[in-house]
A and B are shown apart, each in its own frame.
Chain A
Amino acid sequence: GENVEQHPSTLSVQEGDSAVIKCTYSDSASNYFPWYKQELGKRPQLIIDIRSNVGEKKDQRIAVTLNKTAKHFSLHITETQPEDSAVYFCAASRNYGQNFVFGPGTRLSVLP
Protein backbone atom coordinates (compact mmCIF):
# COMPACT_ATOMS: atom_id res chain seq x y z
CA GLY A 1 0.00 0.00 0.00
CA GLU A 2 0.84 3.65 -0.11
CA ASN A 3 3.43 5.03 2.30
CA VAL A 4 3.90 8.77 2.75
CA GLU A 5 6.95 10.21 4.45
CA GLN A 6 7.32 13.82 5.50
CA HIS A 7 10.28 15.97 6.49
CA PRO A 8 11.16 17.73 8.63
CA SER A 9 9.13 16.67 11.65
CA THR A 10 9.62 20.09 13.22
CA LEU A 11 10.52 23.39 11.62
CA SER A 12 11.16 26.77 13.20
CA VAL A 13 11.47 29.89 11.08
CA GLN A 14 11.60 33.59 11.75
CA GLU A 15 8.57 35.63 10.81
CA GLY A 16 8.89 36.75 7.21
CA ASP A 17 11.11 33.84 6.19
CA SER A 18 10.03 30.99 3.91
CA ALA A 19 9.21 27.47 5.02
CA VAL A 20 9.45 24.32 2.92
CA ILE A 21 8.02 20.94 3.86
CA LYS A 22 8.72 17.88 1.73
CA CYS A 23 6.79 14.65 1.26
CA THR A 24 7.52 11.49 -0.64
CA TYR A 25 5.07 8.80 -1.62
CA SER A 26 5.51 5.23 -2.76
CA ASP A 27 2.49 4.43 -4.92
CA SER A 28 2.96 5.67 -8.47
CA ALA A 29 -0.82 5.37 -8.97
CA SER A 30 -1.49 8.18 -6.48
CA ASN A 31 -2.85 11.16 -8.35
CA TYR A 32 -4.11 13.66 -5.80
CA PHE A 33 -2.03 15.36 -3.11
CA PRO A 34 -3.64 17.66 -0.56
CA TRP A 35 -2.01 19.59 2.25
CA TYR A 36 -3.84 20.12 5.52
CA LYS A 37 -3.13 22.53 8.34
CA GLN A 38 -4.12 21.49 11.83
CA GLU A 39 -4.07 23.93 14.70
CA LEU A 40 -3.99 22.55 18.21
CA GLY A 41 -7.22 20.76 19.07
CA LYS A 42 -8.89 21.65 15.78
CA ARG A 43 -9.88 19.84 12.64
CA PRO A 44 -7.50 19.47 9.69
CA GLN A 45 -8.18 22.22 7.17
CA LEU A 46 -7.26 21.96 3.51
CA ILE A 47 -4.86 24.70 2.48
CA ILE A 48 -3.86 23.64 -1.01
CA ASP A 49 -3.96 20.57 -3.21
CA ILE A 50 -2.50 19.40 -6.49
CA ARG A 51 -3.44 16.79 -9.05
CA SER A 52 -0.90 14.59 -10.74
CA ASN A 53 -1.32 16.29 -14.11
CA VAL A 54 -0.06 19.58 -12.69
CA GLY A 55 3.51 20.37 -11.66
CA GLU A 56 2.94 23.44 -9.55
CA LYS A 57 0.08 25.34 -7.99
CA LYS A 58 0.10 28.60 -6.11
CA ASP A 59 -2.38 30.39 -3.87
CA GLN A 60 -1.10 33.68 -2.49
CA ARG A 61 1.71 32.84 -0.04
CA ILE A 62 1.31 29.09 -0.42
CA ALA A 63 2.55 26.92 -3.27
CA VAL A 64 2.87 23.21 -3.89
CA THR A 65 5.20 21.53 -6.35
CA LEU A 66 4.96 17.96 -7.56
CA ASN A 67 7.64 15.77 -9.13
CA LYS A 68 5.90 12.62 -10.32
CA THR A 69 9.08 10.96 -11.53
CA ALA A 70 10.72 11.26 -8.15
CA LYS A 71 7.41 10.77 -6.33
CA HIS A 72 7.76 13.78 -4.11
CA PHE A 73 5.84 16.97 -3.51
CA SER A 74 6.58 20.02 -1.42
CA LEU A 75 4.73 22.78 0.36
CA HIS A 76 6.21 26.26 0.20
CA ILE A 77 5.05 29.06 2.48
CA THR A 78 6.53 32.49 1.84
CA GLU A 79 6.50 35.54 4.14
CA THR A 80 5.55 33.38 7.11
CA GLN A 81 3.41 34.85 9.87
CA PRO A 82 2.88 33.70 13.47
CA GLU A 83 -0.60 32.46 12.54
CA ASP A 84 1.03 29.98 10.14
CA SER A 85 2.23 28.08 13.23
CA ALA A 86 0.49 24.68 13.19
CA VAL A 87 1.02 21.06 12.24
CA TYR A 88 0.98 20.50 8.49
CA PHE A 89 0.06 17.13 7.00
CA CYS A 90 0.58 16.05 3.45
CA ALA A 91 -1.47 13.22 2.00
CA ALA A 92 -1.66 11.09 -1.11
CA SER A 93 -4.67 9.52 -2.71
CA ARG A 94 -5.57 7.31 -5.64
CA ASN A 95 -8.74 7.90 -7.60
CA TYR A 96 -8.64 11.65 -7.02
CA GLY A 97 -9.78 11.86 -3.46
CA GLN A 98 -10.43 8.36 -2.26
CA ASN A 99 -9.05 7.50 1.16
CA PHE A 100 -6.06 9.61 2.07
CA VAL A 101 -2.78 8.28 3.35
CA PHE A 102 -1.32 10.99 5.51
CA GLY A 103 2.27 11.81 6.27
CA PRO A 104 3.36 11.99 9.91
CA GLY A 105 3.12 15.77 10.02
CA THR A 106 5.43 18.75 10.42
CA ARG A 107 5.14 21.08 13.37
CA LEU A 108 5.87 24.57 12.06
CA SER A 109 6.69 27.34 14.49
CA VAL A 110 6.95 30.88 13.21
CA LEU A 111 8.88 32.99 15.68
CA PRO A 112 8.04 36.70 15.92
Chain B
Amino acid sequence: EPEVTQTPSHQVTQMGQEVILRCVPISNHLYFYWYRQILGQKVEFLVSFYNNEISEKSEIFDDQFSVERPDGSNFTLKIRSTKLEDSAMYFCASRPEETQYFGPGTRLLVL
Protein backbone atom coordinates (compact mmCIF):
# COMPACT_ATOMS: atom_id res chain seq x y z
CA GLU B 1 0.00 0.00 0.00
CA PRO B 2 1.49 3.38 -0.96
CA GLU B 3 2.44 5.72 1.86
CA VAL B 4 3.45 9.33 2.28
CA THR B 5 7.18 9.54 2.92
CA GLN B 6 9.19 12.33 4.55
CA THR B 7 12.86 13.18 4.83
CA PRO B 8 14.79 13.66 6.96
CA SER B 9 13.32 11.81 9.92
CA HIS B 10 15.24 14.08 12.30
CA GLN B 11 16.85 17.48 11.80
CA VAL B 12 18.86 19.53 14.26
CA THR B 13 19.61 23.12 13.35
CA GLN B 14 20.86 26.33 14.87
CA MET B 15 18.47 29.19 15.50
CA GLY B 16 18.37 31.51 12.48
CA GLN B 17 19.27 28.80 9.98
CA GLU B 18 17.08 27.77 7.08
CA VAL B 19 15.64 24.27 6.91
CA ILE B 20 13.83 22.42 4.16
CA LEU B 21 11.61 19.52 5.02
CA ARG B 22 10.72 17.16 2.21
CA CYS B 23 7.68 15.06 1.53
CA VAL B 24 6.68 12.68 -1.22
CA PRO B 25 2.88 12.47 -1.25
CA ILE B 26 1.02 9.45 -2.56
CA SER B 27 1.25 9.66 -6.33
CA ASN B 28 -2.38 10.09 -7.37
CA HIS B 29 -3.25 12.54 -4.60
CA LEU B 30 -3.98 16.14 -5.49
CA TYR B 31 -4.22 17.88 -2.13
CA PHE B 32 -1.21 18.34 0.14
CA TYR B 33 -0.83 19.58 3.67
CA TRP B 34 1.70 20.44 6.32
CA TYR B 35 0.91 20.12 10.00
CA ARG B 36 3.07 20.47 13.07
CA GLN B 37 2.87 18.89 16.48
CA ILE B 38 4.75 20.37 19.38
CA LEU B 39 5.78 17.66 21.82
CA GLY B 40 2.80 16.44 23.83
CA GLN B 41 0.35 18.75 22.09
CA LYS B 42 -2.23 18.41 19.36
CA VAL B 43 -1.60 18.39 15.66
CA GLU B 44 -1.94 21.90 14.20
CA PHE B 45 -2.69 22.81 10.60
CA LEU B 46 -0.11 24.93 8.81
CA VAL B 47 -0.96 25.05 5.13
CA SER B 48 -2.84 23.31 2.34
CA PHE B 49 -1.76 23.18 -1.28
CA TYR B 50 -3.70 22.37 -4.41
CA ASN B 51 -3.13 22.94 -8.09
CA ASN B 52 0.32 24.38 -7.45
CA GLU B 53 -0.80 27.05 -5.07
CA ILE B 54 -1.61 27.55 -1.43
CA SER B 55 -5.32 27.11 -0.84
CA GLU B 56 -5.38 27.88 2.86
CA LYS B 57 -2.93 28.73 5.61
CA SER B 58 -3.10 29.18 9.34
CA GLU B 59 -1.85 32.01 11.52
CA ILE B 60 1.20 29.92 12.31
CA PHE B 61 2.23 29.96 8.65
CA ASP B 62 3.84 33.39 8.61
CA ASP B 63 6.38 34.90 6.22
CA GLN B 64 9.11 32.62 7.56
CA PHE B 65 7.37 29.64 6.01
CA SER B 66 6.98 28.69 2.37
CA VAL B 67 5.92 25.61 0.46
CA GLU B 68 6.83 24.39 -2.96
CA ARG B 69 6.16 21.52 -5.27
CA PRO B 70 9.37 21.68 -7.29
CA ASP B 71 8.60 18.65 -9.43
CA GLY B 72 5.89 16.07 -9.90
CA SER B 73 6.64 14.16 -6.74
CA ASN B 74 8.15 16.31 -3.99
CA PHE B 75 6.39 18.75 -1.69
CA THR B 76 8.63 20.88 0.52
CA LEU B 77 8.27 23.10 3.55
CA LYS B 78 10.93 25.75 4.04
CA ILE B 79 11.49 27.66 7.23
CA ARG B 80 13.70 30.61 6.41
CA SER B 81 15.06 31.62 9.78
CA THR B 82 14.28 29.06 12.43
CA LYS B 83 13.29 30.03 15.96
CA LEU B 84 13.44 27.94 19.10
CA GLU B 85 9.65 27.64 19.07
CA ASP B 86 9.76 25.99 15.64
CA SER B 87 10.95 22.82 17.35
CA ALA B 88 8.24 20.28 16.67
CA MET B 89 7.29 17.24 14.63
CA TYR B 90 6.25 18.28 11.16
CA PHE B 91 3.83 16.04 9.32
CA CYS B 92 3.04 16.10 5.65
CA ALA B 93 -0.31 14.72 4.50
CA SER B 94 -2.01 14.13 1.19
CA ARG B 95 -5.45 13.10 0.11
CA PRO B 96 -7.39 12.01 -2.97
CA GLU B 97 -10.85 12.72 -1.50
CA GLU B 98 -11.72 13.20 2.18
CA THR B 99 -9.20 11.05 3.99
CA GLN B 100 -5.84 12.59 4.70
CA TYR B 101 -2.89 10.21 4.86
CA PHE B 102 -0.03 11.33 7.05
CA GLY B 103 3.67 10.84 6.57
CA PRO B 104 5.93 9.60 9.39
CA GLY B 105 7.00 13.13 10.28
CA THR B 106 10.25 15.06 10.58
CA ARG B 107 11.33 15.90 14.08
CA LEU B 108 12.92 19.36 13.99
CA LEU B 109 15.01 20.56 16.88
CA VAL B 110 16.17 24.17 16.88
CA LEU B 111 19.04 24.95 19.24
Chain A interface residues (CB < 8 Å from chain B): 32, 34, 36, 42-46, 49, 51, 89, 93, 96-105
Q: Is the CB of B42 within 8 A of A89?
A: yes
In the complex, chain A residues whose CB is within 8 Å of the CB of B104 = 42-43
Q: Is the CB of B99 within 8 A of A44?
A: no
A43 and B100 CA atoms in complex are apart in Å by 12
Q: Which residue of B31, B43, B56, B105 contacts A89 across the interface (Cβ within 8 Å)?
A: B43
**Range of interface residues on B (Cβ < 8 Å):** 20 to 34
In the complex, chain A residues whose CB is within 8 Å of the CB of B97 = 96-97
Closest 9 CB pairs of A and B: A97-B98, A43-B102, A99-B45, A102-B43, A104-B42, A96-B98, A102-B42, A44-B102, A43-B104
Q: Is the CB of A34 within 8 A of B99?
A: yes
B103 at the interface (CB under 8 A from A): yes
Q: Which of B28-48 contact A (CB under 8 A)?
A: 31, 33, 35, 41-45, 48
B101 at the interface (CB under 8 A from A): yes
Q: Is the CB of B43 within 8 A of A97?
A: no
Q: Which residue of B42, B58, B100 contacts A34 across the interface (Cβ within 8 Å)?
A: B100
B83 at the interface (CB under 8 A from A): no
Q: Is the CB of A43 within 8 A of B105?
A: yes
In the complex, chain A residues whose CB is within 8 Å of the CB of B56 = 98-99
A44 and B102 CA atoms in complex are apart in Å by 6
Q: Is the CB of A99 within 8 A of B102?
A: no
Supposing A43-B91, A43-B105 touch, asked if A97 and B42 sit within 8 A by C-beta, the answer is no
Sample of 6 further A-B pairs with CB below 8 A, known A43-B105, A98-B56, A100-B35: A43-B103, A46-B100, A46-B101, A49-B99, A89-B42, A97-B31
- Least CB separation from B33: chain A residue: A99
